[in-house]
Every structure is written in structure tokens, then in C-alpha cells.
Amino acid sequence: MEEKKIVQIQYLEFEKQSTLSQNDFDLFEQAKGALKNAYAPYSNFLVSAAARLANGKILTGTNQENASFPVGLCAERVLLSAISSIYPGVAIESMAITYQPQNGKSQVPISPCGVCRQALNEYEIRLNQPIRLILGGLTGPVWIFDKCSELLPFGFNGSHLQ
């Protein structure tokens, strides 16, 4: 007998960035400020991320494209790599992600790509702490997820390899 199952996710939606808590607003501003460091000459789609770590430090990362397309990295994975290298074992409390198309508008939240969702999910598992995600464009609403695994409900992880 088959049984239909339902997967639900929950997130907060803020009408505009100015209604965020001061900590979230400041982190989101850090992400916006980092957009200038993105290297996206092929897609012209700049993405940046800022993370507040459990030790209070804030780091940023941006997308880094390459003419050999598979070689490029998304902002989220650049940031995860930097954090893992500079502050190994330190958990991420919150990560703000924003974007700016060079020929378009940035008015709605976008979520990380599938590869980044997998990498974020693995980081949560590895450090046994959820990562709050703050997603938004340069203007408009902001979405906040309590944990990034909400975006990947059937994520693959190390337990599947056993």
C-alpha cells in the first residue's frame, strides 16, 4: 500500500531588510559589501556570503568563476572553505547570502544552488550545529531559515556510505 508523504519547510519572511534584528542587518550588510569582490565575468551574476562564527568573527566569500566552467566556485563554498581553513572546528551561527546581476534587478531572495546546499548541510552535520541562513536581494524581502538543512530535506550524508 502506498502512502503519500508531505515535506514542509518553515522560514521567516521580513518585508524589508530594515526590519531585521541589528545582528542580522549588520551581517547582511557585510554580504552586500563583499559583492565588489566577486569575479563573475562570464555570468555577470555576482554572489556574496557573510558568516558570523561562534567565536564572533565575520568572514565573507564571493563567487569566483573561471573560463573552464566546472572550475568556478560559488560564494557559499568559497566561504565554507575559508572558514574551515582559518578557523577549523568553529561553528557558523548565521550566514547571509545576497546577489547582484550586472544587467538586472536584485529584489527577491534566492537560495543556494544544489551543490552549495549539500556543502552547507555537510558543514552543519560535521560541526553538529545548525546554520541560520539569511537570504535576500539588494532590496525587497528577506527570508530566514533556522537551519540550512531545511533547503535539502533528503540530503545525502556520510551515514549513507556505511
Catalytic residues: 76
Cα angle 42, 140, 53; round to 5:
75
Q: Which among 13, 73, 15 is positioned nearest to 47, based on CA atoms?
A: 73
Element (H, E) at 131: none
Within 10 A of 156 (CB to CB), how many other CB atoms are there? 11
Question: 3-class DSSP state for residue 78?
Answer: helix
Find residue 94's DSSP bridge partners.
52, 132
Query: Which residues on adjacent β-strands are paired with residue 96?
Result: 50, 134
